[in-house]
Amino acid sequence: MNKKISVFLAIFFLGFFIYYGSYVSQAKGNNDVPVMQIAQTLLDKDVAVTSWSLYTKEEVPSVISKETFVKKINELKFSLKGFKWELKRERDVWKAVGLHYNKDSEMMEEVQLVSTLKNKTSDSYILYHVAGKAWDKHQWNLGYDEFQKSYHKIFTFNPKIFSCVKGQFNDKMKSVLSLGKDELLEAFKAKTVESLVEETFVSVSAYTGMWKEVLPTKNNKMNLQIALRKTGLGGKTTVVVGTPIITSEY
């Protein structure tokens, strides 16, 4: 069972890195961004939101050597005040990781500059990930404002934003995972593209008209992924919703 789950999720994680440039989420306002819509939809279904995250990535063609890597780090340090940085190296891979915790929004920001420098070739990119706990609209607004500020300081080409929300069903939620899946699909006005159903785990890729942007697949288009897991006899049911896919391991 675990092998099936790993293979299923690995396909979409691979799709994320291949097609991350094909998806755009440009918000006109804090209430219009997918993560806000996902959280509100889950709350409407009596799901307690336990965490949320935004993730984006951009290639950095200007980093082609150790010197340009260090130069880029210094630029990030200058523009991103309050971040604590750590430099790591493993053979030909150089990585700089910057972390910043915002007390007002209770949001953690993480920036990674990763560069593989080998045989006069280079592959460099920046990852930006923010994560918040439980759902509070005031904290969300503060956090998203900080996200936007950092986003525009970090990136040059306005890369695409991926959203993910995790939650937990209350005791009133249907115990059968497939029924919970169907209820969420209906709430998101989504149609199934592909699904995996196990006794204690359900994952579905779907398409919803709530967002115009889509991720192309072999035969269809998708922009929503939902995963549900039940832990033990009488245990709680957790849910992860991501657009266009779940970008963190579930």
Residue 81 counted as domain residue: yes
User: With bands split at pLDDT 50, 70 and 90, how would you rate the model's confidence at 11?
Assistant: very low
User: With bands split at pLDDT 50, 70 and 90, how would you rate the model's confidence at 22?
Assistant: very low
pLDDT of residue 43: 93
Q: Which residue range is the domain that position 69 belongs to?
A: 2-243
The mean-pLDDT minimum among 4-18, 148-162, 214-228 falls in: 4-18
Q: Which range has the top average pLDDT, 44-53, 94-103, 129-138, 239-248? A: 94-103
pLDDT of residue 119: 78
Residue 46 counted as domain residue: yes
User: With bands split at pLDDT 50, 70 and 90, how would you rate the model's confidence at 230?
Assistant: confident
Q: Which residue has the higher pLDDT, 204 or 17?
A: 204
Q: Is the peptide bond before 61 cis (omega within 30 degrees of 0)?
A: no
Per-residue H/E/C for 25-77: CCCCCCCCCHHHHHHHHHHHCCEEEEEEEEEEEEECCCCCCHHHHHHHHHHHH
Q: How does 87-104 read in b/e, with b if 16+ C-beta sit within 10 Å?
A: eeeeeeebbbbbebebee
Q: Which residue has the higher pLDDT, 30 or 39?
A: 39
The DSSP secondary-structure symbol of 214 reads -
pLDDT of residue 239: 93
CA distance 70 to 2: 41
Tokens for 100, please give them. Answer: 């910043």
pLDDT of residue 216: 82
pLDDT of residue 126: 98
Residue 250 counted as domain residue: no
CA distance 218 to 125: 26
What is the CATH classification number for the domain harbouring 203?
A: 3.30.2030.10
In the chain, how many domains are there?
Answer: 1
Whether the per-residue pLDDT at 14 is higher than 60: the answer is: no
pLDDT of residue 10: 45
State the chain's mean pLDDT as an integer: 84
Residue whose C-alpha is closest to residue 39's, from 244, 232, 240, 250: 240
Residue listed under structure tokens 């804090």: 30
pLDDT of residue 4: 52
Residue 248 counted as domain residue: no
pTM summary value: 0.81
Percent of the chain at pLDDT > 90 equals 59
Whether the per-residue pLDDT at 13 is higher than 60: the answer is: no
Residue listed under structure tokens 């890195």: 17
Percent of the chain at pLDDT > 70 equals 82
- The Cβ of residue 122 has, within 10 Å, a number of other Cβ atoms equal to 19
Whether the per-residue pLDDT at 151 is higher than 80: the answer is: yes
